[in-house]
Chains A and B, each alone.
Chain A
Amino acid sequence: MKELSYYPGCSLHGTAREYDDSIRGVLNVLDIQLHELEDWTCCGASSAHCTNEDLAIDLAARNLAIAEKSDRELLVPCVACYSRFKAAESELKEHSKKLRFSYRGNVPIRYALDFFCAEPILEEVKKKLTKPLAGLKVVCYYGCLTVRPPKLTGIRQYENPQHMDRLMECIGAEPIQWSYKTDCCGASLVMTRTDIVRKLGERLLSMAKEAEADCVVTGCPMCQANLDTRQEEIEKESGQKYDLPILYFTELMGLALGHKDVKKWLGRHITDPIKVLAAKGLV
């Protein structure tokens, strides 16, 4: 059995609970065991790097130092946490910045989407597929930090990434190409300048609709929350009806792998995904 260290991050204990549950569910099917880091703390998120670069590095490095107590790879589902960890790692490795915590940079930090898109995992998923998502049209919404900056993410096709599209194909869904894969949702501005998040969200939702997608798929808790929870406000403001479920890629994987808890995960969304999936005969 493969084993991984796991840093869920704050969102996955709150608004992104279904992401946490679905990752654990899918990994269980794939026979991969998770060890949650003991006493992990916040990565510092936008607020730390926006106001104090060294504090941002210390807050991330504390968690990396805990992870390094074992030699397991570190799985990070929230792309914002992942980005902070990669930035701290790069400060250590490339700029040999002195860190408060002893961290040697020996633990591979893996973003969940990258982990699941690796060829051996895709092979395993194909073998265990029980319900291919035939007829489900999806747009893959990578967002910013999944691909940028490429010197941290290592993603070569950062203007037109394809890995989530391949994952969706692997589980039988139909990924539609669209031009808004890596456009920003406004992220943490949702609390302070909600108007900006609504404007960016409207652009994304209307483009997804124009591409005739049944749903939007993402691996970022900020993107998911902004497009899901603000969708009704966006609809009121624009007079357009979108009704587009915003799903975590792991929820769709769980569905295709026949996981028993899928309905529980999907029940946590504000924009109801059950209706669309039921119409396709998938739930």
Chain B
Amino acid sequence: MDSNQKEKSFLSEVAQASGETIQACYQCQKCSAGCPVAYAMDILPNQILRHIQFDHRERVLSSKTIWICASCYACSVRCPNNIDIAKIMDTLRAMAIESGLKLGEKDIPIFHSVFLDTIKSKGRIHELSLIVQFKSKTRDFFKDAALGLKMYRKGKIKLFPSKFGGGREMKEIFNAFEKGERK
């Protein structure tokens, strides 16, 4: 591989974006052994690192794993080579959205996007608005309806979002990313 190709490799791209030394992974599998959600993943965390080392871009970016990771950081604190695996997962999720590939999980990326839309329009997360928006996208209106009612009766559901004065500033933050001034 010449140096030009090397610069464009998936490995160097992930390493650069995350700031982590992925090459240092020697497959001890401690990350996967302690991962509470490994059972629900299609590729184990240690295997994700191996795939990155082998430049398997599509395999990694279209995996379920990167969305199932709950960012609990158990892997990151236990890695004998100090690789912040949870941080790499953040990097991979952003790259997956950017890539236009079919994403490994359907609802999780939708949830994140609805969540950020809610922050942009309301400044704060108003839980009820978030849930209504999310359900309108996933068309799953009845799940949790009974629980929602119970929570409402306990005074846990706020009906209206609070007013705040930072609206213009919030739009500016998001606009900078949408216009590409910030990435």
Interface contact A100-B112, CB-CB below 8 Å: no
Interface contact A184-B151, CB-CB below 8 Å: no
**How many Å lie between the Cα of A149 and that of B108 in the bound state?**
23
Residues of B within 8 A of A49 (CB): 71, 90
**How many Å lie between the Cα of A267 and that of B156 in the bound state?**
10
Interface contact A47-B115, CB-CB below 8 Å: yes
Residues of A within 8 A of B125 (CB): 10-11, 14, 42, 45
Residues of A within 8 A of B33 (CB): none
From known contacts A193-B40, A196-B68, infer whether A51 and B93 are also in contact, taking CB-CB under 8 Å: yes
Is the CB of B50 closer than 8 A to any CB of chain A? no
From known contacts A45-B115, A62-B169, infer whether A189 and B94 are also in contact, taking CB-CB under 8 Å: no
Residues of A within 8 A of B150 (CB): 270
Residues of A within 8 A of B183 (CB): 54
Interface SS, B side: helix
Interface contact A184-B116, CB-CB below 8 Å: no
Q: Which of B7-15, B55-63, B160-168 is found at the contact surface with chain A?
A: B160-168
Interface contact B76-A188, CB-CB below 8 Å: no
Would you give the shortest CB distance from A37 to chain B, in whole angstroms? 10
**How many Å lie between the Cα of A18 and that of B40 in the bound state?**
33
Would you give the shortest CB distance from B149 to chain A, in whole angstroms? 11
**How many Å lie between the Cα of A51 and that of B105 in the bound state?**
14
Complex interface bits, B135-146 against A, C-beta within 8 A gives 1, otherwise 0: 000000001100
**How many Å lie between the Cα of A46 and that of B127 in the bound state?**
14
Residues of B within 8 A of A278 (CB): none
Residues of A within 8 A of B91 (CB): 53
**How many Å lie between the Cα of A42 and that of B74 in the bound state?**
25
Residues of B within 8 A of A10 (CB): 124-127
Interface contact A17-B173, CB-CB below 8 Å: no
How many chain-B residues does the 8 Å CB contact rule pick out?
60
Interface contact A188-B164, CB-CB below 8 Å: no
Is the CB of A133 closer than 8 A to any CB of chain B? no
Closest partner residue, chain A, to B107 (CB atom):
A192
Interface contact B90-A50, CB-CB below 8 Å: yes
From known contacts A14-B156, A14-B157, infer whether A193 and B166 are also in contact, taking CB-CB under 8 Å: no
**How many Å lie between the Cα of A100 and that of B169 in the bound state?**
11
From known contacts A39-B166, A62-B169, infer whether A144 and B72 are also in contact, taking CB-CB under 8 Å: yes
Interface residues of A in 35-94 (CB under 8 A from B): 38-42, 44-55, 58-59, 62
Is the CB of B132 closer than 8 A to any CB of chain A? no
Interface contact B111-A17, CB-CB below 8 Å: no
Is the CB of A150 closer than 8 A to any CB of chain B? yes
Interface contact B76-A148, CB-CB below 8 Å: yes
Interface positions of B (Cβ within 8 A of A): 36-37, 39-40, 68, 70-74, 76-77, 84, 86, 90-91, 93-94, 97, 105, 107-113, 115-116, 119, 123-128, 131, 134, 143-144, 147, 150-151, 154-158, 162, 164-166, 169-170, 173-174, 176-177, 182-183
* 7 closest A-B pairs by CB: A47-B115, A184-B72, A148-B73, A10-B125, A47-B112, A144-B72, A192-B107
